[in-house]
Amino acid sequence: MKKISLSAFVIAAVVSGSALAQITIDGSLSDWKIDPKTWVSSLPGVSYTEEDQTGSGAYYLRPGYGGQAYDAEAMYAIIQNGTLFIALATGHNPLTVDNFGNNVYAAGDFAIDFGNNGTYELGINVVNNFLGGVLGGVYANPDWAYGLWDVAGNEVAPGSAAADMAHPTSLRGGTLLGSAESSYTTTGVSGYGSKEDDLHYFYEISLDLQLLYDAGWDGNEFNIHWTQNCANDSILLTVPGNPGVPEPGSLALFGVGLVGLIGMRRRPAK
């Protein structure tokens, strides 16, 4: 009796679907399968970018200075089961409070650009610093603050209209669509990158893809951006479109495959 073949195939398909690594939002990057030496992630289907800068003191980060304390280092994202997961590594402590007079700047929020054209249509309020803002809130029609640098990299005053709008910093308002789940670490961790003693802080976020669609997303690739309120160093990650929507061609092929399997089973043995 070889009756088990089709059901075994179905069970295997279900198991491989549910065996997708589930990301736990706890601020730990252990789910992301990151090589601590290189920041490279081996998580299947992940998108990531790395720009860990090293040096001594408040070294140049481009466009600003600030050294490790303002270094945006790596960003990761993956779409699984209708959910967008994001992780960030930075030398910037999330507990840093704005003190412009002393050149101290808090963390910005996560900004998503549909169409990868430099306009950010969705904001995730991970560090809440606007009156009435919802911590973890996901905002359409975001009102962004910008950093201390113009497009040419020249310093401008805080709040200047000349600031580079390609680097949104913190949310100041918007249309609240719903909530993301988010977590960040507040104790620096060493052992990553080429300068092992440097301290790093991690953010993790998950949000339902429906919130992106609600903000006008078309399902195609998009950019995720993060920086601090000074925008001394920023990081930008491109994420492919929603893989949860199979293309008609691949769906048809899957169906042919199933029919083929059933057909094989019914073929009498010689």
Residue 204 binds Ca ion, judged by CB under 5 A: no
In the complex, minimum distance from the CB of residue 56 to Ca ion, in angstroms, rounded to a whole number: 12
- Return the residue of 119, 154, 220, 238 that touches Ca ion, per CB under 5 A: 119
Between CA 16 and CA 103 the distance in angstroms is 50
- Return the residue of 41, 47, 48, 53 that touches Ca ion, per CB under 5 A: 53
Neighbours of 57 (CB within 10 A): 9
- AA identity, residue 118: G
Residue 114 binds Ca ion, judged by CB under 5 A: yes
Residue 113 binds Ca ion, judged by CB under 5 A: yes
Select from 38-46, 50-58, 129-137, 243-251 the region that touches Ca ion (CB under 5 A).
Answer: 50-58
Nearer to Ca ion, 157 or 196 (CB): 196
Nearer to Ca ion, 109 or 113 (CB): 113
Composition of the chain by helix, strand, coil, percent to 5: 20, 30, 50
Residue 234 binds Ca ion, judged by CB under 5 A: no
Structure tokens at 124: 């995730």
Between CA 50 and CA 239 the distance in angstroms is 14
Residue 31 binds Ca ion, judged by CB under 5 A: no
Nearer to Ca ion, 45 or 216 (CB): 216
By CB atoms closer than 10 A (0-12, 13-18, 19+), residue 133 is: buried
DSSP helix/strand/coil, 16: helix
Nearer to Ca ion, 66 or 133 (CB): 66
Residue 50 binds Ca ion, judged by CB under 5 A: no
Task: Name the β-bridge partners of 238.
Answer: 223
Residue 52 binds Ca ion, judged by CB under 5 A: yes
Please give the angle made by the CA atoms of 20, 25 and 28, to the nearest 5 degrees.
95
Select from 106-114, 134-142, 151-159, 174-182 the region that touches Ca ion (CB under 5 A).
Answer: 106-114
Select from 21-29, 79-87, 226-234, 256-264 the region that touches Ca ion (CB under 5 A).
Answer: 226-234
Mind giving me the DSSP string for 223-242? EEEEEBTT-SSEEEEEE---
Binding residues for Ca ion (CB under 5 A): 51-53, 71-72, 113-115, 117, 119, 233
